[in-house]
Amino acid sequence: MFAWMFDPFFWLVVPVIVLEALRVARSERKRQRYSVAMAALFGALELLVLGLCAATGSPLVFMLVMVVRLAIVRVRERAWWVRGPLKASLLLVALGILMAVGQVSSFAEVAGTNLDPTWRITILVLICAACAAAIMPVRIADEPKETLSAPLAFIVFVRVGLPLGAQEPLFAVVVPVVAVAMSLVCALWLFSAGKRANQFEDSTLVSELLVCERGVLLSFVWLGLASNEHLAGIGALLLWWSGSLALLALEASLRRRPLPKPMAFFALAMAVNLPGTIGFVAEDLLVHGLLYERPILAVAFVGVVTLNAPALYLALVNVIVDVHARYPHLQAQPDAPRSIVMLVAATLSLLVGLIPRPFVAGANQVYDTIVPASHRADH
């Protein structure tokens, strides 16, 4: 029951989880509502719970921890919300079926299990629905309640979805198409939010920008993982890192007043994967991976990438213009209160982006672990 999976995938997810915990611990709202110590405690709890989910090899433990996390977030946010329990329910049902019907007690056994196709498809649909729910931006007036870049659905997708999906020929065809379509919708919503910035509260505009961009980046990750292409998979894993860093940097810079504009622009460069950042390498690999076997998907991906960058830029520009209009008294103040989180995120992104070889090799190793060579499309 207490099997652990400290495999390369776990170590890949750890930085993402640490960033997520850091985001919770440094949350301005939580500091105001509770105290600095309590915010740090919530961050530590987030680290512990997400870390347990990534490390456990047992679906049962995963389910228990997921329910505990739901309770923690309920206490932390002082409100119920629809999407968290919905996603948890989808995953609980999927893992429940896997354990009950497939007699699976460890994630390591998933690839070898011989499920009836109907059950297999049911599980895959449930997991993919949870992933889609995690990607789809929900409009919020304040900080996002859930994780920005480390949804549990993605961990289940990698642990269960990919091994089961390898047995379904349509899996690698349908899921990437859904992922690209979702990325397009998220990019359009981002564009729309940027255009109608005057209809948003300050914090809501930032939240809207963040959740839409999260949707785009996670869709790309989902697309790469589900495409069953080697290069695209590695690109997706790297994009998971780069996306986490970019989202953290965006939030750290955009919620500050006076707005640190240089940092905000650098965070934008990270989010749209400009050269020098790790996202550039990830995007390059993703495009090359998709091109040879899935040219139409590659074209669609490139189209969304083209739309995403100006949409994000427009939203950012409107945040700046908005802040100028709302807080004219801050105009006279010096520009940039420095954010340590932002600086660390930027440094990491640049470091990995300029010396990507060991990280690409690491992501390659992770991909080999999560998608065995016999299951790959290029095999």
Chain contacts with other proteins (rule: CB under 8 A)? 139, 141, 185, 188-189, 191-193, 195-202, 204, 230-231, 234, 261-262, 265, 269, 272, 274-276, 280-281, 284-285, 287-288, 291-292, 298, 302, 305-307, 309-310, 313-314, 317-318, 320-322, 324-327, 329, 331, 335, 338, 343, 356-357, 360-361, 364
- Min. distance of Cβ 340 from other proteins in angstroms? 10
Q: Which residues contact 378 (CB under 8 A, 6 or more apart)?
A: 229, 230, 293
- How deeply is 144 buried, as exposed, middle or buried, from its count of CB atoms within 10 A (0-12, 13-18, 19+)? middle
- Give whichever of 42 and 191 is closer to other proteins, judged by the CB atom: 191
What the block records as the tokens of 103 is: 């007699």
Cα separations in angstroms, 344 against 45, 275, 361: 22, 18, 23
Between 135 and 298, name the residue whose CB sits nearer to other proteins.
298
Residues 6+ positions from 15 with CB-CB distance below 8 Å: 241, 244
Give yes or no for a cis peptide into 258 (omega within 30° of 0). Answer: yes
Nearer CB in complex with other proteins: 46/229: 229
Identity of the residue, 16 or 323, whose beta carbon is nearer to other proteins in the bound complex: 323
Minimum distance, C-beta of residue 115 to other proteins, in the bound complex (Å): 32
Which is nearer to other proteins, 29 or 139 (by Cβ)?
A: 139
User: Rounded to the nearest whole angstrom, what is the least distance from the CB of residue 140 to other proteins in the complex?
Assistant: 10
Closest approach of Cβ 78 to other proteins, in Å?
18
Q: CB of 40: closest distance to other proteins in angstroms?
A: 24
Least distance to other proteins from the beta carbon of 253, Å? 13
| Nearest-angstrom CA–CA distance, 365 and 343 | 29
Number of neighbours of residue 356 by Cβ within 10 angstroms: 18
Nearer to other proteins, 119 or 265 (CB): 265
Q: What amino acid is encoded at 376 in this protein?
A: R
**Under 8 Å between Cβ of 176 and 223:** yes
Work out how close the CB of 110 gets to other proteins at its nearest, in angstroms, rounded to a whole number.
Answer: 26
Burial of 359 (0-12, 13-18, 19+ CB in 10 A): buried
Residue 48 or 344 having the CB closest to other proteins: 344
372 CB-side CA count, 13 A: 12
DSSP 371: S
Report whether 124 contacts 156 (CB < 8 A). Answer: no
Q: Is residue 293 a contact partner of residue 173, using CB atoms and an 8 Å limit?
A: no
DSSP 140-194: -SSS-SS-SS--HHHHHIIIIIHHHHTT-TTHHHHHHHHHHHHHHHHHHHHHHHH
Smallest distance from other proteins to CB 13, Å = 20
Nearer to other proteins, 74 or 288 (CB): 288
Q: Which is nearer to other proteins, 112 or 328 (CB)?
A: 328
| Least distance to other proteins, CB of residue 172, Å | 19
